[in-house]
Amino acid sequence: MKYEKLATDIIKNVGGKENVNSLTHCITRLRFKLKDESKANTEVLKKMDGVVTVVKSGGQYQVVIGNHVPDVYADVVAIGGFQTEGGDGQESNEKKSLFNSFIDVISGVFAPTLGVLAATGMIKGFNALFVALNIITNTSGTYQVLNAIGDSLFYFFPIFLGFTAAKKFNANQFIGMALGAVLVYPALNKLTAAPPLYTLFGGTVIESSVQLTFLGIPVILMDYSSSVIPIVLSVYIAAKVEKFFKKVIPDVVKTFLVPFCTLLIVAPLALIVIGPVATWAGKLLGTATLAIYNLSPVIAGIFLGGFWQVFVIFGLHWGLIPIAINNLTLLHYDTILAVVLGASFAQTGVVLAILCKTKNTKLKSLAIPAFISGIFGVTEPAIYGITLPRKRPFTLSCIAAGIGGGMIGLMGTKGYMIGGLGIFAFPSYISPEGMDKGFYGAIIGVIVSFVLGFLFMFFSGFKDEEEGEKKNEKSVEKLIKQEVIVSPLKGEVKELSQVKDEAFSSGALGKGIAIEPAEGKIIAPVDGVLTTFFPTGHALGITSNSGAEILIHIGMDTVQLNGKYFSPKAKQGDVIKAGDVLLEFDIKAIKGEGYSLTTPIIVTNSDNYLDIVETDKKAVDYKDDLLVVMI
């Protein structure tokens, strides 16, 4: 594994694999949902080589890695034994606000699709570009094939969202896909052209024709291709219905009866109620968005363009992406993502100026790949590695992006598909009629954002901060102190999870490690006080001079020997030094009685520390480093 050490350190510092509820990744970030974020060592992660920074937003603990995040993700999944693009199905102990829950659901449903959605959008965009440049015609076979590839995912979007939504809501993913397929079923869609049986809600804004009924109930048929809201709501309800049937249907027939009952209830409900209501709500949302934009496209562009990077940092952009997709579905164009097009280029312009001015070798090594990534629309390395920590560059990039966004709004630029990022985004702004004012407005807005970002930064009095960076590193090192606990035994090292006692293996008593002893002797692992020494001799407790409370438990169930074969060499209350002999025991005799001698050494007050780092050795001798307590 290329990133084995980095992956291991990340898992350890997010609180261990037992603290991870689920794990996904996007273009540059590992997105953890942790059961308890307080157990994560955020400052340690931020200073780790290979980690750009850590962001906590929308109920997610986001470790920003960079462009190679898929490779790191693969190693983290392999080492941690996590489910791919998912979790263990357990609920997090963290209580999230309603807004954070909304952002978490939206990102969980849409994030897995965005890579392929952007890829197919790029294909469709370049197809439009080829037609506009007269390279091919829109009647040629080449155009038709490329258009099929470009349209495929977005046309059948409800099926794909049915899968991701089911995964997010812990439902059967094939039920989610089946519900999406029902919504775009061709035979039903064809019926919309048939003469209506009658009309509902005549004379209102939701006047609808009825072409068929289900058990006498009118079904309002709509075009659900490319839609988003109806399927997400349908799957959410399906998850509840499925959960109910899992409880009441016998195990022997659950495999087919649970999906049978769930689909039979939710699919008609989706067509009769959920779909129409959600579509009307979507139209209202699209109309409201357009009305706000039309009040002043320039102000809308300045606001969204200027704050887009801030939205991305806090995960708030996930609330706008579904609105943009909804606009594309219902209006066949979108203005929200259009006015933020210049944001990544403004950031990239600022980074280029820093690259030109800095003499700091480390900063240059960060700026070069950040600039290249920014050209292609991936700005996290630039934001978290360069501009945001220095504050002024980030602020200047936001100002430049706001001005560029205002220009794009002034030119009336519209996006006609979800396409690529950075320079690959331009084909998405080609109108079905060809390159119009809006397309050229997108190019002008991007150039303005990039140039202003560069000029603002270049002439802002930028100073290298090499000395300040070194001081910051030293101050962080001072904050993180360590106490080393040496091995009290000689023998084979085992993970605590291998101990055949749930109180130890679960970590309920604290973090630590276990040793299979090769010699019958216990020495003091630290300087401190022997605070507890059980009369039976099988267990002892030590408090180090730094406050670490250490429990050494010799074997499993050895308390039943009632002190037989144990010879204490110290007494409770003694002040001890690391290396002092505390106890001797007869390995052969104890094993002869049928007892396991696997010995856990744990820090019982682990929650008071940043982390407890175990040795990576397979075997240890007396006084070898065993545990490192991060204070």
Q: To 5 degrees, how large is the angle CA 527–CA 533–CA 535?
A: 160
Number of CB atoms found within 10 A of residue 368's CB: 13
Task: Kindly report the length of the chain.
Answer: 631
DSSP code at position 434 = B
Cβ atoms 450, 374 nearer than 8 A? no
Number of CB atoms found within 10 A of residue 190's CB: 11
Cβ atoms 163, 173 nearer than 8 A? yes
Cβ atoms 200, 218 nearer than 8 A? yes
Tell me how far apart the alpha carbons of residues 304 and 338 are, in angstroms, rounded to a whole number. 10
Q: Which two tokens stand for residue 3?
A: 């990133």
3-state SS class at 169: coil
Query: In terms of C-beta density within 10 A (0-12 exposed, 13-18 middle, 19 or more buried), how is residue 112 classed?
Result: buried
Long-range contacts, 561-566 (Cβ 8 Å, 24+): 561/536, 561/590, 561/593, 561/595, 562/536, 563/535, 563/536, 563/537, 563/538, 564/589, 565/589, 565/590, 565/593, 566/536, 566/537, 566/538
Residue type, 147: N
Q: 68's torsion region: left (phi>0), alpha (psi -120 to 50) or beta?
A: alpha
356 noted as active-site residue: no
Tell me how far apart the alpha carbons of residues 600 and 57 are, in angstroms, rounded to a whole number. 37
Residue type, 562: N
Residue 322's nearest CA partner among 500, 494, 109 is: 109
Q: If residue 620 lies in a helix (H) or strand (E), which one and from where to where?
A: strand 619-620
Q: Which two tokens stand for residue 546?
A: 């730094």
Tell me how far apart the alpha carbons of residues 404 and 464 are, in angstroms, rounded to a whole number. 28
Tell me how far apart the alpha carbons of residues 184 and 186 are, in angstroms, rounded to a whole number. 6
Residue 230's nearest CA partner among 174, 269, 258 is: 269
Give how far Cα 3 sits from Cα of 41, 74, 404, 441, 615, Å: 19, 9, 39, 43, 19
Tell me how far apart the alpha carbons of residues 178 and 238 are, in angstroms, rounded to a whole number. 11
DSSP code at position 273 = I
Tell me how far apart the alpha carbons of residues 223 and 226 are, in angstroms, rounded to a whole number. 9
Number of CB atoms found within 10 A of residue 244's CB: 13
Q: Which residues are catalytic?
A: 26
